[in-house]
Amino acid sequence: MNKYLLPVIAIVIGVTIAFVTKNQKSIGTKLLLSFSGAFLLALTVFDLLPEVYHHLEPRQTGLFIMCGVLLQIVLEFFSKGAEHGHDNTHEKDKRFPWVLFISLCIHSFLEGFPIHEHNDMVYGVLIHKIPIAALITTFLFQSSYSITKIIGFLLVFSAMTPLGTYISNNMLLTTENIAIVNALVIGIFLHIATTILFETGEGHKFNLSKLAMICLGISIAHFI
């Protein structure tokens, strides 16, 4: 049951952080984002990558991973990088951001596929979603969108990952088909995590803090 609840709980925590920090992007949120990127990347390499290579031919696996990277680049063309914390909204724009919404939902839906019973990827998705949800909530409440649209956005967004997990675990999909989707997700995770990790910080002190969070994320992922 945790594999369905934890991604939703992550959204709730992220929304709470956005309110507690008074809708301002903080250094703490940026450091949490760095930790989440390292943690997600490490779990992808330690857990998900060997599993996919076990079920697919190596060259085929590499092809689908690269397709995942390209897919995430296309999604970010529409979402403007919201998956790794970039600001996308404009305070004076009252039109609902349908392109952003659909792009984030596709991303969130696909990242639910690698979450299986006894699979640590649920924790990677959990940690990844918290700062993203906080930043997206901040962006939305700084915009001119109605409260009804914002709540609807967050509710549907929070349901996408559990929906992907449900389909992965309950639909009549072959092991090979699930492995292909997981390979695409690996490409998505690799692009997002490396983008987070290689973005420069604001000053030398911040970069040292970021490095510490990256090392912590990798270490925890290794030992769980």
Give pTM, 2 decimals: 0.84
Residue 163's pLDDT is 93
- Mark 139-172 as b/e (b = at least 16 C-beta within 10 Å): bbbbbebeeeebeebbeebbbbbbbbbeebbeee
Q: Rounded distance, CA 134 to CA 91, Å?
A: 17
Q: Which residue numbers in the chain have pLDDT < 70?
A: 1, 22-26, 80-96, 117-118, 200-206
Element (H, E) at 70: helix 58-79
* Number of independent structural domains in the chain: 1
Question: Are 83 and 76 contacting, i.e. CB atoms less than 8 angstroms apart?
Answer: yes
| pLDDT score recorded for residue 158 | 93
Q: What is the number of alpha carbons within 13 Å of residue 114 lying toward its C-beta?
A: 31
Instruction: Judge whether 213 and 35 are in contact, CB under 8 Å.
Output: yes
Q: For residue 173, give its domain range.
A: 2-223
Q: Which pLDDT does position 49 carry in this prediction?
A: 92
